[in-house]
Amino acid sequence: MKTARAKTMPLQALQLLERRFEKQIRFFEGQKAAFELRRAALNAGGLRRLDEMRFIRSWLEKPLTVGAVAPSSRMLGRAMARYVDIAQTGPVIELGPGTGAITAELVARGVAPSRLVLVEFDSTFCRLLRQRYPEARVVQGDAYRLEETLAGVLDEPAAALVSGLPLFNKPLRARLKLLRAAFRLMKRGAPFIQFTYATVPPIPKGLEGMSVEPSERIWLNIPPARVWVYRKG
């Protein structure tokens, strides 16, 4: 008795079909994610909730780059902005501004948006920052290659640098390299302002030729944070 032989599809055709299915799946997943973002923003009411959703999505995609699952709180942003002397002339650099939570507090402090130089790695956040702060200079690039990223951008030494980078995601050598590069781009005595959730400073105290000033712990931020200010003497 003869048995019917199943017809098999060539491997190349199977691979093509699989790629088409994957493309459709990615498309529908993207549409679903966008819908969830909009619905969450409408249900929770407000820009802050939408920014939180953006942060969560970016953190899930690139946890080592984003380093946080939500934008910084207003209290933390204000604590950082207080260390910026608005009487000083020159640009104010912000590293890793994300959705602009700390940026907003810098502007509220009195820093003109035209003085802001916002260095952001994530292209989605860059587009958002350009919409919210059209007068600021938004630079998409790697903050850990700061001098190369800002080559030709600064007209004069910076008056301050505010960092929202997750420094503890990098080895100490990379953190020190960033700090030294920042000092070369700033006026003498200008502050390098960094926050961290850790209980220890992101860059050790006691380095020669540098002063360190910690803030009180900001318990109402989630999670609680502290601001560290470094100045080259």
Q: What is the pLDDT of residues 141-190, one digit of tens each?
A: 999 999 999 999 999 999 999 999 999 999 999 999 999 999 999 999 99
Q: Residues for the chain: how many in total?
A: 233
Looking at the predicted structure, is the pLDDT value of residue 6 above 60? no
| Contact between residue 181 and residue 151 where contact means Cβ atoms under 8 Å apart | no
| Contact between residue 118 and residue 138 where contact means Cβ atoms under 8 Å apart | yes
The predicted model scores a pTM of 0.71
Q: What is the DSSP string of 68-117?
A: -SSPPPHHHHHHHHTTS-TTS-S-EEEE--TTTHHHHHHHHHT--GGGEE
Residue 26: per-residue pLDDT: 55
How large a percentage of the chain has pLDDT more than 90? 62
Q: Which one has a higher pLDDT value, 53 or 177?
A: 177
Residue 59: per-residue pLDDT: 47
Confidence band of 226 (pLDDT split at 50, 70, 90): very high
Residue 223: per-residue pLDDT: 85
Confidence band of 128 (pLDDT split at 50, 70, 90): very high
State the average pLDDT for the chain: 82
Separation in Å, CA 140 to CA 7, 134, 194: 53, 15, 20
Q: What is the DSSP string of 6-45?
A: PP---HHHHHHHHHHHHHHHHHHHHHHHHHHHHHHHHHHT
Of 66-70, 124-128, 142-146, 220-224, give the lowest mean pLDDT range.
Answer: 66-70
